[in-house]
A and B are shown apart, each in its own frame.
Chain A
């Protein structure tokens, strides 16, 4: 579990501000994911990445931007935060050809 970390763990920001959530993994996993978790919705995929410089949209990508210049890092940016983006954000990773997916500890984001 220590192989995937997220920062910050808690963040409060104001509507309209840009905020970046960081995700770092030490397993050299090819695939990385961002989910948001909201009551009644389970875990919904925001963006995913199959390798460095390869990213694609998930179920709920609007308002978010990702990049992956290095295999180990997968930052998620909210370009102009809205109250509806208040949520718990989980990063996850998995090795290339296997399906086991492991989650980071999460970031609780509050947009006021």
Chain B
């Protein structure tokens, strides 16, 4: 069935270290993979996304990589800062049986960056 697994569920790093969050998906037809950041009490905010025709995408300290063969994608944050502390969600597009594209979300990773 439609499934996105996300690991780890919690991640603690020191300021300046790198953080990596990994997701796997089950539908080989998935072609869009966004990442959302959610601060406490706030809405999920889109921070970066990647489409299946690209293997890697970077935006300053954030990068996402995609391995279509293995059906997994990862979020990389370099030079972490305390303000990076939040819950991060990955998602994969799934085509429903009516042809509609929807997103299935992972269960989230709580990232804590200590000064």
**Chain A residues in the interface with B (C-beta under 8 A):** 1, 33, 40-45, 48, 50, 56, 58, 90, 99-106
Contacts and interface: CB of A to CB of B under 8 A. Distances in A.
A90 B43 contact: yes
Interface string B82-108: 000000010001001010111111111
Binding site secondary structure of chain B: strand
Contacts, number: 47
Interface of B: 6, 32, 34, 36, 42-46, 49, 89, 93, 96, 98, 100-108
Nearest to A100: B46
A105 B98 CA distance: 29
Given A42-B108, A43-B89, A56-B98, A101 B43 contact: no
A103 B39 CA distance: 13
Contacts of A100: 34, 46, 49
